[in-house]
Chains A and B, each alone.
Chain A
Amino acid sequence: MSRLKPQEEYEKTMAFHFFRWLSGSKDPYVGEVEMKPQKEAEITESTILERMNESQMIRDKIYDVENNKKLILFHKIYVACAILFSIILAGLLLYTVSCLPRIGNAGNPANNEVPERYIEKGLEETGAVNIVTGMILDYRAFDTFGESNVLFIATITVLILLHEKKKKAVKLDDEDDRIYEPKNDVILQASAAILVPVIIIFGIYIILNGHLSPGGGFSGGAVIGAGLILYLNAFGFKKTERMFTEKTYKVVCCVALTFYCLAKSYSFFTGANHLESHIPLGKAGHILSSGLILPLNICVGLVVACTMYTFYVMFRKGDF
């Protein structure tokens, strides 16, 4: 059982020393360190003019054409080389195109045994009526996993770039979009009230029927994300923050990606070792069929929908 220690006792522990060193108030080698806020560098008009003059002077010195005859020669050679390089590149590409087999030829490499197997045995092996989904979530599921991870990393990068901490209370009114919200646009709200449920249900339909009809996790997730953005635009941040916060995003994305990783690792492990996977394929054409494809579709859809919505929120106000 942990109990709060009194201050004097706490100052003797290792943790106190460690956190003091971590926060930089005392360094074991330097001693007491006084923290001073950094002064902001003053930028007056004269310094800006000086800098502009400096860059102009440097440019004049470098491109001193009158005293530097070599420079003119260099420019001529540069232009000639650029044109020559472009012509060579274009010619190379055209030559490569001319070497490609003709479109529609039966003996093309595109018609080799891999797509043949996908088309002939895809339904039997994956249980998915939609061969495209069977391909991307069963044969090529590892690529789709990478795709989801790329989206996740992109969101993290956007979060790092655009995230503003709440401690910065002083904000310019101009920068904060939220002061104009909610606008209470009657037309927008009325149409959104009708459209948003339809859009989100359509997105869920696309995800759940990914293995039966065109669509799948990515497209359905994008549709749901678009619906959420429309809802946000119509009703403002206060309403969406009740159901979707930064924590929701983190939990949903991490759970979905982890499940995807574990499920696919299992099926790759059993597939590589020629073991029985014990996942029933079901009857082709039913909703609950084709083994792991349906849950994987749901995972991808969740990640994509959350990512789209988060992108928009980060662009709008840089915070959840």
Chain B
Amino acid sequence: MTVFQCILLGFLVVCAISVSFSKNLLNSILIYMSYSLVMSLIWVCLESPDLAITEAAVGAGVTSILFFATLKKIHAIQIEKEKGRDENE
């Protein structure tokens, strides 16, 4: 169990660093999502399932969806926009 937790903690550190070094905003949101998922697994290991459910639903689910919506609003997702235009025309 300890080895598993160490691997998860290593994932956390890698995710946290790569979020800030990723050039593409979409990629950094995806990495942030995986960070929340790993965090919820760690909460389960720390015997607090209450927090794990909340982290999985809020951190990995709703927050990242809100980030996606914001990125779409500020036209940071270029491919999506062009695709939508093609469909429209």
Q: Identify the closest chain B residue to A183 (Cβ).
A: B87
How far is B27's CA from A274's CA once the two chains are assembled, in angstroms?
57
- Asked if residues B65 and A214 are in contact (CB atoms below 8 Å), the reply is no
- Asked if residues B65 and A222 are in contact (CB atoms below 8 Å), the reply is no
- Asked if residues A229 and B65 are in contact (CB atoms below 8 Å), the reply is yes
Q: Among B61, B69, B87, point to the contact of A222 (Cβ < 8 A).
A: B61
Chain B interface helix/strand/loop/mixed: helix
How far is B72's CA from A175's CA once the two chains are assembled, in angstroms?
10
- Asked if residues B61 and A226 are in contact (CB atoms below 8 Å), the reply is yes
How far is B49's CA from A214's CA once the two chains are assembled, in angstroms?
6
Count chain B residues whose beta carbon lies closer than 8 angstroms to a beta carbon of A.
20
Q: Identify the closest chain A residue to B59 (Cβ).
A: A222
Q: Identify 13 residue pairs between A and B in the complex whose beta-carbon atoms are under 8 Å apart, listed by A's number.
A: A133-B50, A214-B50, A214-B52, A215-B50, A219-B50, A219-B57, A220-B53, A225-B57, A226-B62, A311-B66, A312-B62, A315-B69, A315-B73
Interface residues of B (CB under 8 A from A): 48-50, 52-54, 57-58, 61-62, 65-66, 69-70, 72-73, 75, 84, 87-88
Interface residues of A (CB under 8 A from B): 130, 132-133, 174-175, 177, 179-180, 206, 214-216, 218-220, 222-223, 225-226, 229, 308, 311-312, 315-316
5 closest A-B pairs by CB = A214-B49, A222-B57, A219-B53, A315-B69, A219-B54
